[in-house]
Structure 1
Amino acid sequence: MSLTPEQRVQLHEFNNLTKSLSFNMYDICYTETKKDREAYIAYIDEQYNADRLTNILKNVADIIGAHVLNVAKQDYVPQGASVTMLVSEGPVVEVPSERFEESPGPLPEAVTMSLDKSHITVHTYPEYHPSEGISTFRADIDVATCGEISPLKALNYLIHSFDTDIMTMDYRVRGFTRDINGHKLFIDHDISSIQNYIPDEVKQLFDMIDVNIYQENIFHTKCKLKDFDLNNYLFGKKKDQLEDDEINKITERLQLEMDEIYYGKNMSNNNN
């Protein structure tokens, strides 16, 4: 339910609350040979190079209404990339009352918002198992804002910017601001779960777990893709090229990798 101007809390000067969103995504792939592994990592480095990541972050800045001040980007050898972007507040305009509603944010073509000083960063981490043919790619994106707009408004766009098997999301509101009577406010909007900022059609694709500490304004959600099609995880070949025992072995390895990442612990017999 939207608040009318009369219902909104009147603040004393600038909104000093800091809202931070950490978005992590994982892509898992089976790369049987060294050649397959090198080809997969080369593909990832091309697909998520510093230039493309910069464009993604610029779109995030558009969604949250920020002006880009500075961009530092780097492609690494042998693999990986990083982008750091400093942004400043946009023009002083009336912020839509819809900011108080828990709902998925817009994609770039529907952006009409503004915010205060913030920064956005992304780092990528391609890596592989030393012996079992599993390669993974992880991207970490952090969006930190000050003011009235939550970076959760960019979550919908971020989810649609990556092909992901597993996502973990952390949202936290820190600090405090004051109303016109000097009363401290430690959060300026209602939130019960990060899931409320994810579109229904996306939520239907994933198993999801929440771990929230409401009294500390800390919210955590992790997601794992429900459907498993082996062809989506093979690099350089298709399922119909494999024998049944190979299919079972590869499927078991991939699903174990996904479960370990999702639950955050080693689950195989040869791991401590």
Structure 2
Amino acid sequence: MLISEGKINSSLEDDSSHTESPGPLPETVLAHLDKSHITVHTYPESHPDDGISTFRADIDVSTCGKISPLKALNYLIHSFDSDIITIDYRVRGFTRDIEGRKHFIDHKINSIQNYISNDTKELYHMIDVNVYQDHIFHTKMLIKDFDLDNYLFGITKKELLPSEKRKIKQKLKKEMYEIFYGKNMPKI
């Protein structure tokens, strides 16, 4: 698979007359992006005692040229429907104008939040940690409200006693706060 900002040479296009199955699907998908790359690292884990499981996906999008990873933010956020989101955006290197002058940043940005849709902003608490002079931008997002049924397996919240619901919600909030703030917390 080749993804490019320009038109792909027709000799590389898929031959739609090929109808045979390519065989078993690979465990790894590899794509070549013209001037760019995307990587996904996944980290599923479970607490051994309290039944809390988390699934972390780190997605790195590096681009150059006309394609900006900021344009993919809303799509990625809505695709994963995450409780906690940490976004790092760093402008590296430079580009030259037609006179040969270097430009180390070619767009205005003071916060990643400027690129996040308003409907998404309403769902999350957000904080920024930015280093403007080095073109480093960091935004952390924590879901404001959650439906307990989305975190239960084999049971619904209607089947739980009020004290059980409270205890589970408390564990979930503690887990979310610890991940959001990046430290262990004794109590919430």
- The number of aligned residues is 172
CA change 1:232–1:65 in 2 (3 A) is: farther
Give the Cα separation in 2 of the matches to 1:250 and 1:221. 28
> Which residue does the alignment assign to 1:135?
53
Q: Does 1:189 align with 2:107?
A: yes
CA change 1:121–1:74 in 2 (3 A) is: farther
**1:147 to partner: Cα distance:** 1.6
> Which residue does the alignment assign to 2:21?
none
- Unaligned runs of 5+ residues in structure 1 are 1-53, 76-81, 89-116
**1:186 to partner: Cα distance:** 0.7
- Unaligned runs of 5+ residues in structure 2 are 13-24
Q: Moved runs in structure 1, 4+ residues, more than 4 A?
A: 64-67
Does the 8 Å contact 1:85/1:121 carry over to 2? no
> Which residue does the alignment assign to 2:32?
86
The residue identity in structure 1 corresponding to 2:184 is N
> Which residue does the alignment assign to 2:124?
206
Give the Cα separation in 1 of the matches to 2:137 and 2:144. 22
Moved more, 122-131 or 179-188: 179-188
TM-score for the superposition, normalised by structure 2: 0.81
Give the Cα separation in 2 of the matches to 1:222 and 1:74. 34
Instruction: Tell which has more relative contact order, 1 or 2 (C-alpha 8 A, sep 6+).
Output: 1
3-state DSSP of counterpart to 1:149: coil
CA-to-aligned-CA distance 1:67-88 (integer Å, 9 cap, x gap): 6x9xxx964xxxxxx6543211
Give the Cα separation in 1 of the matches to 2:85 and 2:7. 25
Q: Does 1:165 align with 2:111?
A: no
Match for residue 236 of structure 1 among 149, 154, 159: 154
CA change 1:244–1:66 in 2 (3 A) is: farther
What is the aligned-residue identity percentage? 65
TM-score for the superposition, normalised by structure 1: 0.58
Q: How does 1:16-165 map to 2 (within 5 A)?
A: 75=27, 83-88=29-34, 117-165=35-83
> Which residue does the alignment assign to 1:109?
none
Give the Cα separation in 1 of the matches to 2:58 and 2:46. 17
